[in-house]
Amino acid sequence: MSTAIEEKTVTCIVCPSGCVVRVVLKGGKIAGISGNMCRKGTDYAKTEVINPMRILTTTVRMEDNRLLPVKTERPLPKALIFDAMKELSHVRVKAPVKIGQVVYPNVADTGVNVVATRSWK
């Protein structure tokens, strides 16, 4: 395993302060965190550096060509967002749709479902 030292910066979004947090990584492990003004910044920066997660919101097409807004039920790894977009670009949903309904399960093999964020009659 490499023991190279790496430094990453993360802008914390927990509060409006927007602290720029410096994270030092040694061999892929966190060796130091600085620049944040509070404890929350430490946790945020850790997740951001190790495994950043995002909710994805987008649209899928209905069979009648209307657009259905959707979101991932939970955050998914940021790195997989474009894979998820590619998968969803082929999805066709049949009306009617109820808000919260799963329209695509296990997107990008993440175990996360994609659900409708509006109802369509």
Residues in contact with other proteins by CB under 8 A are: 11, 13, 15-18, 54-59, 61, 65, 67, 69, 71, 78-79, 81-82, 85-86, 89, 99, 117-119
DSSP H helices in 1-121? 39-50, 81-88
Q: Say if residue 69 is preceded by a cis peptide, omega within 30 of 0.
A: no
- Residue 26 Cβ vs other proteins, minimum distance, rounded to whole Å: 21
**Closer residue to other proteins (CB): 1 or 54:** 54
Distances (CA, A) of 11 to 26, 39, 101: 20, 14, 34
Assigned token pair, 68: 């259905």
- Residue 29 Cβ vs other proteins, minimum distance, rounded to whole Å: 20
**Closer residue to other proteins (CB): 1 or 91:** 91
- Residue 17 Cβ vs other proteins, minimum distance, rounded to whole Å: 5
Gap between the Cα atoms of 32 and 19, Å rounded: 16
